[in-house]
């Protein structure tokens, strides 16, 4: 089928467009956030479509990711998402500003399926009357590259200085007392002022995977995130993982793959044990890779999306949201 989607989340889109459909990515003259097209990516199943041509383009379903896209799709195509055009809203994030009382932007719509990327997100968002489903993350397998030769922790996060406590940036110096921490991603330069913490750059995927795999373990200190794709990629690499037992992380990481806890002293002991025992770290990494291939592999991800897209096109509705259509009074 022909699927209209904007390139909003690079890592997620990279997995999504590997399916068996024709993926249409809008492009405008400015190549801005509303018409960036492929952003230079080599995605054989995806093609750019000029926004001027969308009105006359055959589209089977649109996958929305930002509230503004609802009106934008109607303006560009002449079809109303959810009414004249089958539509899905893909929500990547945890609710903000309030963890339990934040209404989703489409909470009043019962004609657009709301897809969450984790069960935690589905539970915590106020979904209202929107029909909901969960499609858990899947990532392309970068291969088992782990060497763990460097007794250092690796973190992947964008804008850790700006996002602060959300990404657990305040915890990094404490973990760095045990072993140096290398932080990969955008906007990490300001971390150089923290003792034991080193910005490691925003690297292209292939190089990032190689560099991550050289570190002894992957550290996931984020307090409020859906479930970082980088965590799943690290597990695919064969890295042991240590982090906070928040949001969806406890479901995604089994105990034999590393250690997830909200006890900072326990985490410190776990990091120290892995740093001092490379063989233990390697075994934890093997367990991490075995688990993530079974639960977050690309084939399962695409197969689930095939079912969600097919249901949307034929008008099938998933079960009502966790609120069963009831709205709290505020």
Render pLDDT for 100-154 as a digit per residue (tens, 0 to 9): 999 999 999 999 999 999 999 999 999 999 999 999 999 999 999 999 999 999 9
296-305: average pLDDT: 97
State the pLDDT confidence band at 183, using cuts at 50, 70 and 90.
very high
pLDDT tens track for 218-231: 999 999 999 989 99
195-203: average pLDDT: 96
Q: What is the mean pLDDT of the chain?
A: 94
pLDDT of amino acid 317: 65
Secondary structure of the chain in the HEC alphabet?
Answer: CEEEECCCCHHHHHHHCCCCCEEEEEECCCCCCCCECCCCCCCCCEEEEEHHHHHHCCCCEEEECCCHHHHHHHHHHCCCECCCECEEEEECCCCCCCCCCCECCCCCCCCCEEEECCHHHHHHCECCCCCEEECCCCECCCCCCCCCCEEEEEEECCCHHHHHHHHCHHHHHHHHCCCCEEEECCCCHHHHHCCCEEEEECCCHHHHHHHHHHEEEEEECCCCCCCCHHHHHHHHHCCCEEECCCCCHHHHCCHHHEEECCCHHHHHHHHHHHHHCHHHHHHHHHHHHHHHHHHCEHHHHHHHHHHHHHHHHHCCCCCCCCCCCCCCCC
What percentage of the chain carries pLDDT values higher than 90?
94
pLDDT tens track for 12-34: 999 999 999 999 999 999 999 99
Report the 10 Å Cβ neighbour count for 44: 8
Does 328 score more than 80 pLDDT? no
**Domains with residue ranges and CATH for the chain:** 2-137+299-314 (3.40.50.2000), 150-295 (3.40.50.2000)
pLDDT of amino acid 326: 39
What percentage of the chain carries pLDDT values higher than 70?
95
pLDDT of amino acid 324: 39
Confidence (pTM): 0.92
Does 321 score more than 80 pLDDT? no
pLDDT of amino acid 319: 53
State the pLDDT confidence band at 315, using cuts at 50, 70 and 90.
confident
pLDDT tens track for 253-290: 999 999 999 999 999 999 999 999 999 999 999 999 99
């Amino acid at each position: 089928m022909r699927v209209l989607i904007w390139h909003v989340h690079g890592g997620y889109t990279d997995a999504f467009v590997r399916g068996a459909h024709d993926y249409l990515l809008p492009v405008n003259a400015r190549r801005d956030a509303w018409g960036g097209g492929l952003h230079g990516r080599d995605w054989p199943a995806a093609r750019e479509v000029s926004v001027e041509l969308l009105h006359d383009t055959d589209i089977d379903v649109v996958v929305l990711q930002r509230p503004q896209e609802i009106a934008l799709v109607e303006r560009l195509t002449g079809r109303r998402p959810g009414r004249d055009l089958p539509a899905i809203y893909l929500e990547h994030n945890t609710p903000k500003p309030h963890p339990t009382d934040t209404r989703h932007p489409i909470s009043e719509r019962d004609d657009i399926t709301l897809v969450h990327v984790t069960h935690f997100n589905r539970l915590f968002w106020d979904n209202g009357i929107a029909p909901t489903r969960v499609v858990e993350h899947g990532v392309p397998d970068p291969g088992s590259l782990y060497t763990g030769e460097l007794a250092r922790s690796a973190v992947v996060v964008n804008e850790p200085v700006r996002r602060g406590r959300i990404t657990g940036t305040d915890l990094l110096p404490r973990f760095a007392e045990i072993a140096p921490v290398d932080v990969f991603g955008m906007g990490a330069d300001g971390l150089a002022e923290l003792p034991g913490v080193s910005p490691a750059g925003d690297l292209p995927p292939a190089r990032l995977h190689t560099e991550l795999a050289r570190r002894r373990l992957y550290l996931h200190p984020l307090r409020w995130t859906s479930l970082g794709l980088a965590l799943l990629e690290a597990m695919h690499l064969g890295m042991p993982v240590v982090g906070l037992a928040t949001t969806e992380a406890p479901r995604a990481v089994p105990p034999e793959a590393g250690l997830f806890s909200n006890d900072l002293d326990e985490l410190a002991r776990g990091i120290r044990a892995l740093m001092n025992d490379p063989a233990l770290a390697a075994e934890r990494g093997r367990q991490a890779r075995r688990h993530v291939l079974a639960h977050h592999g690309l084939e399962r991800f695409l197969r689930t999306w095939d079912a969600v897209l097919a249901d949307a096109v034929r008008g099938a509705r998933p079960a009502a949201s966790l609120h069963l259509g009831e709205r709290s009074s505020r």
